[in-house]
Structure 1
């Protein structure tokens, strides 16, 4: 889960990601899988499945094993016609610096700073973090100089994968906005290779029925389609960060509020060991999640962590939900 001010949905200033600059993460490159179809022909779920099955395929090939927690309908056979069965393990297990800016994603070997991949932003069509047991891995689909698509798999530091994906999303959006402004100035709008990279939920995703269970499940959610959260007494509407902190008197106090600037975004504000935390609950893919689990509703997330006395672990601390702060009206 990413911790940030609700004034912005991004982790970095735009200046940090402009061409010539960039934000870097220490990751390990594991390999790639050829993508056999255009990502434009796939819906959002299929794109996500391509990325996450590529993670599992590369990891299995290099000897990294996981307990597969996917539901039966999420069988790898779904993507057999979309990705190659044999991954490319060139540079596998190489520690690298992944530098993200509005121009490209650059993979530079940590030992000698040699660049072995530089993917232009306009050639990147999708990126995703892993799921459950593969949550510390990411994958992104990019075209090479021969116009061939491959899904590249990286291992991130523990609990850092969502930060990496969010940073890629920010760089893409900046690049896309620059592109659209240029096209409009020229009086024409041409297709952008990854014009659905940041696409939100499709209508069938929004209307999907997800069973409510006592354990976290891999569910997708759009805040605008779950009005029940507004009925919860620990929900305080569109109050700001400072106002929320004035309501959090004791360690373990928490409340949920709605972002005034980002439609569909909700923030969990809490106090634990005299520290205030403000955690975004909806990730860039529209999924309600913590670092460890995905949930089918905000109520499910609150209930799971409060009733089980399970702390929410963020990048640099934890938050224990003990006492909901109830709104006065």
Structure 2
């Protein structure tokens, strides 16, 4: 068996010692994941690459980070391999991505909570996006409940190639550690509109992390990677008891429903108590003793607050995608506030204060309603509810 991975011509960005120990860390944005329904070993290499790229596309299209190409035809093998809709829990979270030969870990920059962690033997594949998603990277991993997903990251500022190459270096080191032999990792065909080897320079790569001896087709070498930090150890947190930002089907409703890698080198690790996609839920506010002292804050002074207007009146004020306002509901015993907005032509209404009196999204607790609104407005981050996203672009000002 011949080696099927070679260092980039300029060498790795990081030292092997760094990647083997604390790892390199990138500031990126986690945008969601797609469940993968088949083992990567059941697919040929080209299909694996297509699966990863389609997952990146699906997540980006759902969050309107790219325009959907309705004419694009997707291979049936790819469609059979992935779920119909993405999991958007924690979508839009700014994270530190730590890459080492031990694991890939995503840690929220705002809360320092680990939202996903995958040991290297459970990661099978990593790929950049296609020509429309050059700043995105997806990696396919299996959690300890044997469920696979493709996790999608936005790597702005040209970081995507560095992230992919660093993952490739981690795969190679893991392989070396496993075999105690020379580098025998994999890199895989070109991605995006990248430079061909004949033109010189290193091509953007997909990386493949698999059982030694199961070699992908002959392909060429990989590119290059960035920096370090130490993250907290992975710990399991209790599941969230109730949702936040409840999507209202009817404001008159008296009850609101409560939600409560395949690189298989050696071991099947005993599953721990974590959720389907290996995404750690955040502690429920009441479990931490946290509560907003004044969740309403000085909302009366905000131009986007319209007071007690009806749902119909709010919808009449929403004219184009991105329009939003906040109103006070007249149909609740305790004061409740509703974010009304429009996305893809659909009017949406989200409750802003959860049953415990806390203003929060699935990955962040806010001091009050104004804090939540301004945070998402100024950072152009989508507010996630169920499997939809609402982007706050245009403040609808009250007239009096």
**Separation (CA, whole Å) in 2 of partners of 1:101 and 1:146:** 22
**Could you say which residue in structure 2 is the equivalent of 1:284?**
205
**Separation (CA, whole Å) in 2 of partners of 1:148 and 1:65:** 27
**Could you say which residue in structure 2 is the equivalent of 1:45?**
46
**Separation (CA, whole Å) in 2 of partners of 1:76 and 1:60:** 18
Larger-gyration structure (1/2): 2
**Separation (CA, whole Å) in 2 of partners of 1:135 and 1:61:** 17
SS of aligned partner of 2:47: helix
1:177 aligns with 2:179: no
SS of aligned partner of 1:127: strand
Q: TM-score with structure 2 length normalisation?
A: 0.46
Cα shift readout 1:201-230 (whole Å, capped 9, x = no counterpart): 6xxx9xxxxxxxxxxx85896x5xxxxx6x
SS of aligned partner of 1:132: coil
SS of aligned partner of 1:133: coil
Change (3 A) 1:219 1:44: farther
Please list every run of 5 or more consecutive structure 1 residues that lacks an aligned counterpart in the other structure. Answer: 185-195, 206-216, 224-228, 230-255, 257-265, 267-279, 291-329
**Could you say which residue in structure 2 is the equivalent of 1:112?**
111
**Could you say which residue in structure 2 is the equivalent of 1:60?**
61
**Could you say which residue in structure 1 is the equivalent of 2:186?**
198
**Could you say which residue in structure 2 is the equivalent of 1:26?**
27
Q: TM-score with structure 1 length normalisation?
A: 0.55
**Could you say which residue in structure 1 is the equivalent of 2:230?**
none
**Separation (CA, whole Å) in 2 of partners of 1:197 and 1:82:** 24
Change (3 A) 1:69 1:220: farther
SS of aligned partner of 1:163: helix
1:15 aligns with 2:17: yes
1:156 aligns with 2:155: yes
Change (3 A) 1:197 1:92: farther
Pairs aligned (count): 204
**Separation (CA, whole Å) in 1 of partners of 2:185 and 2:69:** 27
SS of aligned partner of 1:153: strand
- How far the C-alpha of 1:284 sits from its partner, in A, is 3.3
Cα shift readout 1:138-157 (whole Å, capped 9, x = no counterpart): 00000112010100011111
SS of aligned partner of 1:58: helix
Contact 2:8 2:221 in 1 (8 A): no
- How far the C-alpha of 1:176 sits from its partner, in A, is 0.9
Give the helix-richer structure, 1 or 2.
1
Change (3 A) 1:5 1:43: closer
Change (3 A) 1:11 1:83: same
1:79 aligns with 2:78: yes
CA RMSD of aligned residues (A): 3.4
